[in-house]
Structure 1
Amino acid sequence: MAFCTDPSLGNLQYAEKIFGFIQEPTLFVYNVMIKALTKKGSFRRAILVFERLREEGLWPDNFTYPFVMKAIGCLGEVQEGKKVHGFVVKTGLEFDTYVCNSLIDMYGHLGMLLYVEKLFEKMSERDSVSWNVTISAFVRWGRFSDAVSVFRRMRLESNVKPDEPTIVSTLSACRALKDLELGEEIHDYVRNKLGFTDRINNVLLDMYAKCGWLSVAREIFDEMPTKNVICWTSMVSGYVKFGKLDEAIELFDRSPVRDVVLWTAMINGYVQYNRFDDAMDLFQEMQSKRVKADKFTMVALLTGCAQLGALEQGEWIHGYINENGIDIDAVVGTALIEMYAKCGCIDKSLEIFKEVREKDTAAWTSIICGLAMNGRSSKALELFSEMRQAGINPDDITFIGVLSACSHAGLVEEGRQFFHSMMEIYMIEPKYEHYGCLIDLFGRAGLLDEAEELIERIPNDSNTVLVSLYGALLSACRIHGNVEMGERVARRLADIESSDSSVHMLLANIYASAERWEDMTKVRMNMKDFGVRKTPGCSSIEINGVVSEFVAGDVSRPASCRGE
């Protein structure tokens, strides 16, 4: 049995046959079998062997439980985990450090962090594994501050020295929290006490790159004796995130090995900087290299199609998803919904939405915003009601879609109610986008005084925000012909941002609507004196899968392209 369960020597299937022939297996035999099955990833079979052990009247020991708990944690079997915990208490092994560490690790995989905390605090003796599994559990479930707190306690309260797993988990928390002060402190500890390994180098580099310390990340990268695909990906992603696309391209071109994650990072970089043609070319090259795209590659490309309104290419990507058996889960489904909605195919978005089996907040939000954007306000509000009935909590972006739907439909009272419910029921602090939707709603309904009062009550003195909100109010003044308020708002806007051409153009149009031609001429002369130029219009069109952009006044394209 022991020989056959050794992965480098034996054969697990043959070991199972031997196990089946043993008439009275001892606890040692059961332990060997459970350990082998768990290490092989046959978690369900490992639990079945454990149940047979119990049926035979044998009592598990501290060699049995750790592998059973690992199997339960990997399967996510909460009730099974609690049952095994009960067996541990009955056998008096709850104070065994080895078994308690395994319990903490199991509950960490199950996401039951209250149990993790209780078990950890009850331990009379903690070894390095105790600290590591606790830190790792908090990191796994996004409790990064708690992970850092445990690490600090480890340094202050114990004689246990941080090892590689401790460093890797804590640096991951530092990266998420952008806590570079602690990150540097750990970096110094590694340099002086522990020594660098490939795993530590990778996570250090990733932390600095994700937090924007690209020069430090590059220094670590250049000094690494061996570079795996993970560190190449971290550097490319970091450069993309912080606006250094040329450096990202240079590193990507140099990378000797590329997996789907690295290809996707570079494709996403092109999409992020509106170089969609380059993104598609890179995707074609990726296919020629026989690298199979995953759902994140598809989402990056669909995002590019949505930004450009490239329906034909979006449909081709949708076909690729179906042909290659990529599951249309909430992530892919949301990207498809958004792409079709921004391309004007809202019925197709609804069709995709219905196909998504497990809809999360992002999927509901995407369809609600898409419906609002395409003028289907009543359907958007109907789905918002269904979303709440399904027990899915909306987020701040959901309410932008809801308020926008109210604005397009002229539902003033409903808009007010949704705005207040956002704060009072869901505890979501309004952002300037929400105020903008409400101001737009009031403006369309002719409630200009209420809109102006709302702007003055907004707790934000950012010039960018004020320009946007007052701009919406000025636009409403033009629609309703309120010259007096238009002049007042225009003066405020001129004090904030005199170079914004839209302010001057809106005021000129207000004067023109009121037939105050001299005032209109004066505004245009002021624009000329201040050197304010109207921002040219820009549009795009997709023909045979190629997206072309056109700017007003551009004579660089052939006459046929300009419609002449």
Structure 2
Amino acid sequence: MSVYSCHVLLKAPFLPYSTGFCKQSCIFLLKSCKSMYQIKQIQTQIIHVGLHQDRNTLNKLMSFCTDPSFGNLRYAERIFNYIHEPSLFVFNVMIKAFAKAGSFRKALSLFGRLREFGLWPDNFTYPFVLKAIGCMGDVGEGGKVHGVVLKSGLQFDTYVCNSLMDMYAELGKVENSYHLLENMIEKDRVSWNVMISGYVKCKRFEDAISLYRQMRQESSEKPDEATVVSTLSACIALKDLELGKEIHNYIRDELDLTIVIGNALVDMYCKCGCLSVARQVFDEMPTKNVNCWTSMVSGYVKCGQLDKARELFERSPVRDVVLWTAMINGYVQFNHFDEAVALFQEMQVRRIKPDKFIVVVLLTGCAQLGALEQGEWIHGYIDENRIRVDTVVGTALIEMYAKCGCIEKSLKIFYGLKEKDTACWTSIICGLAMNGKTSKALQLFAEMRQVGLRPDDITFIGVLSACSHGGLVEEGRRFFHSMTETYQIKPKVEHYGCLMDLLGRAGLLDEAEELVKKIPGEKNELLFPIYGALLSACRIHGNVDLGERLAMQLEKIRSSDSSVHTLISNMYASSNRWEDVTTVRRKMKDLGVKKVPGCSAIEIGGIFHEFLVGDPTHPKMREIHSMLNTIAKPLLGSEENEMGREICDVMNLL
């Protein structure tokens, strides 16, 4: 048929059968379709000449209607509903289209209707049905369909068996997947890949690596891109750099350095701390996408090399929101908050719409620094740009306001959330504890349990902190023991530290000392904060004997830490043992230990100012001195001359 004839057929609204519009013409025209508009024109002719129930014609029509590049699934569904006797091919096409579009229930519904038309599923039907079940997480339905596969005898079909393995992996039933793999007569490369990937999905990383080695030893199939990428994910999780290097050597010998493989290698080396090798792989990659740039920038960020991270960030030809988030997160993580805000503002200038994760990162920075003005500005930005305050954003706002001392605003946000997860409840409980609202914190903890949410280890840090601030010794003991007895949560050093603080404040120092001895399997370095808190309690309660025993332990852990010697010196000073104070200070001098200078910070007009004792480099230092002089002069010689002298002392420090 000529191009001219095709053009005439497409233009004619109704073309009589006698003019040559036959089945062959219809199929030819469908193959030439580029849009749904053309498909609808052809369908008009199909109906007019009576081919609308012809099996071969319908098969082609449905294939093009469900084509993801220009098809229309809703239109295809309408056509399907008018077919008197749909073929298995049409069923398969529709099931595949529904599964790929995420309409998993519809895919399963069609699968269930096959028997109505006397049809039996084949090896093209099951893969998409099984994919739909895996995505839905319906274990019961998966077992039923597996039973149908066994009845049909297709359990030995490699394509179907691989799909079953993938479904069970999605459902978290990797033992079922492995059982299928073991019983396969022929294991192709896809089978091994599905199983390795399944182990990774279920966080069974050791098993994934073991299976990779088994594949290399027992199978004639060589690992391909999918194999090495999944296995490298397991290497990252286990920090198995040795196997990662082994896979890298295999890639050099057997595979091309594709974008996907290159990104996996860069990510593996970065997360295993080998930045130089990661950069070498990155530079060798013939083609890079934004994911490769993001992995490398994130690697530099993780190691604190922010200048190199920024240099790469600026060189990246494409910057998506994930790459911007990685760079902003780096600045926040290492307390370069001004740079983080500046980068966020640059995003707005470039009209790049930030997602919720960027504002969460910025709110986290505000919380760490107590930068309330900036936090309120970001909250306003969230409202103005209609960023949905879900559990993630809500938790970040709750934490920011709580750490800035605005606990009432935290409560308002908490109560305004439509959905609350464990993180939200934990954030508000910890915030209330931090702000001394003991009763309210414990009340919300009780409400959290009543609504059926399970507290995690961080929740208990907030609960125990609340007990410590409120001096609730008995309640603190009870909550601490309930962690293991009721919730099977193993206490961490932080939990022991909270309980230690509670006992120390209550003067129960002997009990606190015994508790330290019960902390299981922890390194001495991790116990440093606990010993320090207990030593402070010894100073407050005048228990010098215990303080000296603790001091000996602390010196073994960190003999060069100035805070250790300061704590000991302060304890002796509180007991008027000045000779011992002098001995400690002389010892510090002999060891070359210098006290870490104190630091204070203030936010003015959204700008964060930091001051170190003895550091005169602040650009406003002259104005600060002038203002202190103005304040101090009227006080000197008055009844409040002590305050004036203190201000003079401050000026000397500056």
TM-score above 0.5: yes
Distance 2:152 2:296 in 1: 51
**Shift of the alpha carbon at 1:487?**
4.4
2:301 matched residue in structure 1: 240
Contact map agreement 2:196 2:227 (CA 8 A) in 1: yes
Q: Secondary structure at the match of 1:371?
A: helix
Q: 1:139 aligns with which of 200, 223, 237?
A: 200
RMSD: 2.8
Q: Please, which moves more after superposition, 543-552 or 212-221?
A: 543-552
**Matched residue type, 1:558:** M
1:445 matched residue in structure 2: 506
Percent same amino acid at aligned positions? Answer: 70
**Matched residue type, 1:226:** T
Distance 2:293 2:204 in 1: 27
Correspondence 1:459-470 to 2 at 5 A? 462=523, 464-470=525-531
1:181 matched residue in structure 2: 242
Q: Do structure 1's residue 352 and structure 2's residue 413 form an aligned pair?
A: yes
Q: Please, which moves more after superposition, 355-364 or 134-143?
A: 355-364
**Shift of the alpha carbon at 1:466?**
4.8
**Shift of the alpha carbon at 1:116?**
2.7
Distance 1:325 1:299 in 2: 15
Q: 1:91 aligns with which of 140, 145, 152?
A: 152
TM-score using structure 2 length:
0.79
Contact map agreement 2:189 2:223 (CA 8 A) in 1: yes
Q: Secondary structure at the match of 2:402?
A: helix
Post-superposition CA distance 1:227-265 (Å, at most 9, x none): 111110000101111222221111111111110110000
Distance 2:474 2:603 in 1: 40
**Matched residue type, 2:398:** I
Contact map agreement 2:599 2:613 (CA 8 A) in 1: yes
**Matched residue type, 1:59:** W
Q: Please, which moves more after superposition, 188-197 or 429-438?
A: 429-438
Contact map agreement 2:239 2:272 (CA 8 A) in 1: yes
Post-superposition CA distance 1:431-472 (Å, at most 9, x none): 332332222222111112222333345456855445433322
Residues 63 and 347 of structure 1: CA distance in aligned 2, closer, same or farther (over 3 Å): same
**Shift of the alpha carbon at 1:82?**
3.8
Q: Please, which moves more after superposition, 201-210 or 405-414?
A: 405-414
Distance 1:77 1:467 in 2: 48
Q: Do structure 1's residue 67 and structure 2's residue 124 form an aligned pair?
A: no
Q: 2:348 aligns with which of 281, 287, 290?
A: 287
Q: Do structure 1's residue 206 and structure 2's residue 270 form an aligned pair?
A: no
Q: Do structure 1's residue 419 and structure 2's residue 480 form an aligned pair?
A: yes
Q: Do structure 1's residue 333 and structure 2's residue 394 form an aligned pair?
A: yes
Residues 146 and 357 of structure 1: CA distance in aligned 2, closer, same or farther (over 3 Å): farther
Q: Which is higher, the Rg of structure 1 or of structure 2? A: 2
**Shift of the alpha carbon at 1:386?**
3.7
Correspondence 1:122-161 to 2 at 5 A? 122-161=183-222
Distance 2:68 2:527 in 1: 67
Q: 2:432 aligns with which of 355, 364, 371?
A: 371
**Matched residue type, 1:334:** T
Correspondence 1:183-332 to 2 at 5 A? 183-332=244-393
**Shift of the alpha carbon at 1:492?**
4.9
Q: Do structure 1's residue 163 and structure 2's residue 227 form an aligned pair?
A: no
Distance 2:591 2:123 in 1: 82
Residues 466 and 32 of structure 1: CA distance in aligned 2, closer, same or farther (over 3 Å): closer
Q: Secondary structure at the match of 2:156?
A: coil
Residues 138 and 318 of structure 1: CA distance in aligned 2, closer, same or farther (over 3 Å): farther
Distance 1:10 1:398 in 2: 50
Q: Please, which moves more after superposition, 272-281 or 102-111?
A: 102-111
Q: Secondary structure at the match of 1:190?
A: helix
**Shift of the alpha carbon at 1:13?**
5.3
Correspondence 1:400-411 to 2 at 5 A? 400-411=461-472
Q: Please, which moves more after superposition, 515-524 or 398-407?
A: 515-524
**Shift of the alpha carbon at 1:12?**
4.9
Post-superposition CA distance 1:261-318 (Å, at most 9, x none): 1000000000111000000000111122222211221221111001101112112222
Q: Please, which moves more after superposition, 152-161 or 39-48?
A: 39-48
Unaligned runs of 5+ in 2: 1-60, 629-654
1:49 matched residue in structure 2: 110
**Shift of the alpha carbon at 1:529?**
5.7
2:600 matched residue in structure 1: 539
Q: Please, which moves more after superposition, 493-502 or 326-335?
A: 493-502
Aligned residues: 564
**Matched residue type, 1:275:** H
Distance 2:193 2:142 in 1: 20
Q: Secondary structure at the match of 2:192?
A: helix
1:104 matched residue in structure 2: 165
**Matched residue type, 1:161:** K
Residues 131 and 480 of structure 1: CA distance in aligned 2, closer, same or farther (over 3 Å): same
Q: Which has the higher contact order (CA 8 A, sep 6+)?
A: 1
Distance 1:353 1:138 in 2: 38
Residues 417 and 553 of structure 1: CA distance in aligned 2, closer, same or farther (over 3 Å): same
**Shift of the alpha carbon at 1:129?**
2.0
2:644 matched residue in structure 1: none
Residues 519 and 254 of structure 1: CA distance in aligned 2, closer, same or farther (over 3 Å): same
Q: Please, which moves more after superposition, 36-45 or 102-111?
A: 36-45
Q: Secondary structure at the match of 1:63?
A: coil
Distance 2:580 2:348 in 1: 61
Distance 1:398 1:8 in 2: 48
Unaligned runs of 5+ in 1: none
**Shift of the alpha carbon at 1:151?**
2.1
